[in-house]
Every structure is written in C-alpha cells, then in structure tokens.
Amino acid sequence: MNNFIIREAVKEDCKEIRRLIQELADFEKMPNGPQIDTKVLEDDGFNSEHPIFGCIVAEVDGENKEMIGYALYFIAYSTWMGKAIYLEDIYVSPQFRSQGLGSKLFDTIAKKGLELGCCRMDFRVLNWNPANEFYARKGAVDMTRLEGWHHYSLNKANMEKLTSKTTV
C-alpha cells in the first residue's frame, strides 16, 4: 500500500493534469475528445483573479511525487437553490484504484462545495461506467431515473449557427 497526498492543484501541475485528462478520455473510449492543452488549463485555472475551475490532485508521497489522480470542479448556479459545485472530472490511474483514492477525491470535492456555500454537487457519468455503483453508495441520485432530467449540450458549431441567425 502506497502513501498518498491529496492537495489543491497549482499551475505547475497542469502538464500532468492534462496527461490524466487524456488517460480518462482513453478510458471513456473517446481518445480524441480532449481539445485543450496545458496552456488553456493554466490560463483558465491559474492565470486570473477569478479562475474558471479548481482542481484537487492525488499523488504518490515520496521523492518522485507521481500524479495519479485528479478531480476538476467549477461553480454552477441553480435558480431553485443557489450555488452548486459541478464535478467535471474525477479520475484515478488504473494501477492505483481500489485503494480509496477516488473516494478521498470525491469527498474532498464535496467538502470544498460545502466550504464554498454550495447547496449540492452535480456531475454526469457514462451509463456503462462501473463507477455508477460507487456514486450510488456515496448517496448520489440519478436525476434521469428519479425526475427525468436529461443533460444536454450545444457544441460551439451549433452555437455559432444559432447566433448567425440572431439579430438584436
């Protein structure tokens, strides 16, 4: 059993965070999904007074401090309840799974949400991902099953198509 450190990410972590984002995309069978690079992560998360996202990282404690997991989040808003924390990604490299790291990352994001005054924590998971059982054990509710809420997304090309027709 290794010793691990869970901590807030810093700008210098962005290269390793990007590497882990790619690992996650490969696991999700979407290797061409990530379109951002290290510079975007640095700019959006660390180069402003108001960062767009926050990130918690997990690393092996020791000389090399290998980064083996991360959880990336941002603040969202609910007109019904107020601030919410949105967990965009949570990932632990395969060889370090089943050691409690995913649980520690998840719990750390929940704690961060409470510290920030959030009313809930939202996230989405692919239907085939075995982590669905993990989230249910944590107390998460599948809103599609419970209330019929579906998560939709409009990509940039469709946003541009819509706005090209809009006149003010």
**Active-site residues: which are they?**
135
What are the phi and psi torsion angles at 128 (to 5°)?
Answer: -90, -5
Amino acid (one-letter) located at 72: L
What are the phi and psi torsion angles at 27 (to 5°)?
Answer: -60, -40
**Segment (H or E) for 14:** helix 14-27
**Segment (H or E) for 19:** helix 14-27
Amino acid (one-letter) located at 154: L
